[in-house]
Structure 1
Amino acid sequence: MQKANIVFMGTPEIAVPTLEKLNELHNIQLVVTTPDKPKGRGLKLQYSPIKEAALKLGLPVLQPVSMKEPEFCEQIRLLSPDIIVVFAFRILPPSIFSAAKIATFNIHTSLLPKYRGAAPINWAIINGDKTTGITTFILQEAVDTGDILLQEELAIPANATAGDLYNLFQTLAPSLAIKTCDLLLKGNYELKQQDHSLASLAPKIFRRDAKINWCQSSEIVANFINGYSPEPCAFTMWNNATIKIYRALSSDIHNAESKQAGDFFIEKNKFFVKCSDGFIEILELQAEGKKRMLVKDFLAGYRGDKQGTFIE
């Protein structure tokens, strides 16, 4: 196999296996990631997952504050990599993505042009999609609009959370990255232009938008909960306390005593909540001041009301 000189750019855990696999088969000249960030009570500087992985592999790391820093741009230009691989990173200026001799490509966790943006995994779950996929494409200035190199479709498992899908992509991405590098090195590939008329957006999701609206259908509520899991995590209020809900499913159970959206009841070690057209079953939650746990474990020590109403 022909080896490429590669500059790898990424930050979160999802990109780590891809860096590791590329390092096995190619020459990683440099790893670029975000600056260390203070975290915890002591505000101790914490490395990104990609920096930790790079240091374990003995790879050089750069952490520019801005992608437009002249010194950083010059360092990339002097390296003159064959390929720049980008996975879950920042927006790059032309001075960076044009520095690759062959191409700069991005790994995106959707079937572009669907779900352009920062949170394609979350929105696939929130919208109740049955399939999704992963795309490699040539980077250009407009975000997530470049010509497609390769795509692989993925069936979304029933009741999957965004966290579940994240883990699946983490295992699938390395092989697609390797295939894409091989294509670029051989030069025998055809680029596919994105159909911009089919584009949809997947903006970042925030805690401020994570409160559950129980007046929607059980399917919509379950998808919302699963799509916001594990972060920023959907939540509801009860007795002036926050209840985080990490996993749920739409249920066909009936309960005549539950009259309004948000009414909940506990029955046979299961936790149900009324929505506009039926119920969801909560499978995993975190009560305020407690740790995250499966409902069966939560109920084992629960001595509170068996019925009540969550506040919207």
Structure 2
Amino acid sequence: MGTPEFAVGILDRLQTSSFNIVGVVTAPDKPAGRGKQLKSSAVKTYALHHDLEVLQPTNLKSEDFQDDLKRLDPNLIVVVAFRMLPKAVWDFPDYGTFNLHASLLPQYRGAAPINWAIINGEKKTGVTTFFIDEEIDTGKIIDSKSISIAEKDNVETLHDKLMTLGADVVIETVKAIEQAKVEPQAQANISELKAAPKLTKENTKIDWKQSGNAIVDFIRGLSPFPVAWTELTIEDEIKKIKVYKASFEISDHQKEIGSTGLNTEIKTIDVAVKNGYVHLEELQFPGKKKMEVKALLNGMEWKSDYRFC
């Protein structure tokens, strides 16, 4: 069971291994793009290409869906980036249902663990398999493996690393369950848990009052999706700008936070923050494609009174 590209990497590894996949469960097709044409999930596209039966329930508690599950008769369900399941579903298979989560549980329970690990400046993250229970991401841990977060990692690069690592752990978990070698452990009781809530318009806006390193981590933790954004004041007009890439330089200055200038040496737009300058390297203006700043400035005059807020 899964929906996004992250789940495809795990499904592909299961498909090319010796396991018998009796069916795939994914989200219903959704309207997308300007034409609002129905678009299949990444998992459905992969499954149909490999002649796997696909179920797309709108209601996981419906009798029709649960009858379909009984017909498929899986003895184990693997969940990757999917909705919360009712007990009638996760408790159905003989060997239970386990989930792959892209963090080292119990840290970063929630919808966006990859993003928040980078945003919070973590140096390490990983993947965890656990048996599903009544709560979200709280079940007993089967296995976990860690990986370093590189200084230049963004969501895209870390996503791909964790997808590969996750596929390895899922295969090892399935084999361990098959061989009755699983000894699940309760999640550690940690007093300060870091959450990974759903990303929204409100929590993806850049706060220029933060330190430069925190701002850069925030930007790369949201790039290339859903993308950090900010507001740029140009004379009497405010434009919503998306920021894909930035770097930071420590510097003492007396400039107002959010004020801007051009760095002609490295061809960036520099934003003053409390402990230096954030060098903006890749932006997207409303109605335009994302561009490297050095290309953007070839067709735009940047004025010193432009300000981010």
Normalising by structure 2, we get a TM-score of 0.92
**Are positions 1:259 and 2:255 aligned together?**
yes
Q: Is residue 207–residue 233 contact of structure 1 (8 Å, CA) maintained in 2?
A: no
**One-letter amino acid of the counterpart of residue 16, structure 2:** E
Identity of aligned residues (%): 40
Which of 10, 14, 26 aligns to 1:22? It is: 14
Q: Is residue 161–residue 247 contact of structure 1 (8 Å, CA) maintained in 2?
A: no
Structure 2 Cα separation of the partners of residues 285 and 160 of structure 1: 18
Shift of 1:306: 5.2
What is the aligned partner in structure 2 of residue 205 from structure 1? 199
What is the aligned partner in structure 1 of residue 280 from structure 2? 282
Which of 221, 233, 239 aligns to 1:241? It is: 239
Shift of 1:173: 1.8
What secondary structure does 2:217 align onto? helix
| Equivalent runs, 1:56-75 vs 2, <5 Å | 56-75=49-68
| Equivalent runs, 1:39-54 vs 2, <5 Å | 39-54=32-47
Shift of 1:91: 0.2
| Equivalent runs, 1:117-266 vs 2, <5 Å | 117-198=110-191, 199-238=193-232, 239=234, 240-253=238-251, 256=253, 259-266=255-262
Shift of 1:297: 3.1
Structure 1 Cα separation of the partners of residues 138 and 210 of structure 2: 33
What is the aligned partner in structure 1 of residue 5 from structure 2? 13
What is the aligned partner in structure 2 of residue 4 from structure 1? none
Shift of 1:253: 5.0
What is the aligned partner in structure 2 of residue 5 from structure 1? none
What secondary structure does 1:262 align onto? coil
Q: Is residue 250–residue 275 contact of structure 2 (8 Å, CA) maintained in 1?
A: no
What secondary structure does 2:197 align onto? coil
Shift of 1:98: 1.0
What is the aligned partner in structure 2 of residue 307 from structure 1? 304
**One-letter amino acid of the counterpart of residue 303, structure 1:** M
Q: Is residue 96–residue 131 contact of structure 2 (8 Å, CA) maintained in 1?
A: yes
**Are positions 1:113 and 2:113 aligned together?**
no
**One-letter amino acid of the counterpart of residue 227, structure 1:** G
What secondary structure does 1:197 align onto? coil
- Cα shift readout 1:182-223 (whole Å, capped 9, x = no counterpart): 111011122121023344321101123322221111112112
- From the superposition, tell whether residues 78 and 303 of structure 1 become closer, same or farther in structure 2 (CA, over 3 Å): closer
**One-letter amino acid of the counterpart of residue 311, structure 1:** F
- Cα shift readout 1:45-83 (whole Å, capped 9, x = no counterpart): 110110000000110000000110111112213333121
Q: Is residue 159–residue 249 contact of structure 1 (8 Å, CA) maintained in 2?
A: no
- Cα shift readout 1:238-287 (whole Å, capped 9, x = no counterpart): 22222210122222356x5x611111221221222111221112222112
**One-letter amino acid of the counterpart of residue 202, structure 1:** A
Shift of 1:225: 1.5
Q: Is residue 10–residue 86 contact of structure 1 (8 Å, CA) maintained in 2?
A: yes
Which one is further off, 191-200 or 117-126?
191-200
Structure 2 Cα separation of the partners of residues 196 and 170 of structure 1: 27
What is the aligned partner in structure 2 of residue 3 from structure 1? none
Which of 244, 267, 270 aligns to 2:268? It is: 270
Which one is further off, 232-241 or 259-268?
232-241
What secondary structure does 1:261 align onto? coil
Which one is further off, 272-281 or 245-254?
245-254
What secondary structure does 1:18 align onto? helix
- From the superposition, tell whether residues 289 and 15 of structure 1 become closer, same or farther in structure 2 (CA, over 3 Å): same
Structure 1 Cα separation of the partners of residues 164 and 113 of structure 2: 17
Q: Is residue 149–residue 180 contact of structure 1 (8 Å, CA) maintained in 2?
A: yes
Structure 2 Cα separation of the partners of residues 296 and 170 of structure 1: 33
**One-letter amino acid of the counterpart of residue 307, structure 2:** F
Q: Is residue 236–residue 310 contact of structure 1 (8 Å, CA) maintained in 2?
A: no
